[in-house]
A and B are shown apart, each in its own frame.
Chain A
């Protein structure tokens, strides 16, 4: 009965590699988000999709590309990984754009 799930939970990879993180929500929500939490616990939004349409695209390197195949899924693909990409990435969803957000458990990405 997991509401927002992410895979993988941990991801260790080398610089220059390409990786993806998957997110799925079974809440029937229309809006999904990706956040990045750095080592000091600071959280910042990266992207948001509403009904598969991109509505928020913060100042994020274009190595990061979100993809929403349907309303229940929002994946994050990262090309040419850098050391500074190491962080915990959280997916979230809300029923409407203005609604309260429900977060997944996070994916800890470590780039070596």
Chain B
């Protein structure tokens, strides 16, 4: 079945450091891919998405490229801020008629001043 694997956290960085959070997926067909962010005590917010191979999603300085050849959708940011501290979830939409979201296990990011 479809699945998403994320790197385990927590990831601890200093402010202005470069961020990479790895995400790989297994899916039949051609899923859409998403990154969601969950700030402490809040619900999930869509950060970015890509719907087909080689698409690059971007938002708030974060980027991720849909790589079909490596089945990956790694999240990157060139310079993190303390306010980026949160849990980041990679997800894919189901390729069957339900289009349900399948989430990775989440990666906690902690950015220190």
- Do A44 and B105 form a contact, CB below 8 Å, given A90-B43, A100-B49, A105-B43? no
The answer to whether B43 and A106 touch across the interface, beta carbons within 8 angstroms, is yes
How many residues of chain B get a CB closer than 8 Å to chain A's CBs? Answer: 23
The answer to whether B44 and A56 touch across the interface, beta carbons within 8 angstroms, is no
How many residues of chain A get a CB closer than 8 Å to chain B's CBs? Answer: 22
The answer to whether B99 and A100 touch across the interface, beta carbons within 8 angstroms, is no
For B103, list chain A residues within 8 Å (CB).
42-44
Q: Is B89 an interface residue (CB 8 A)?
A: yes
**For the complex, what is the distance from the CA of A64 to the CA of B105, rounded to whole Å?**
23
The answer to whether B43 and A45 touch across the interface, beta carbons within 8 angstroms, is no
Within 8 A of A (CB), among B81-105: 87, 89, 93, 97-103, 105
Chain B residues with CB under 8 Å of chain A are 32, 34, 36, 38, 42-46, 49, 87, 89, 93, 97-103, 105-106, 108
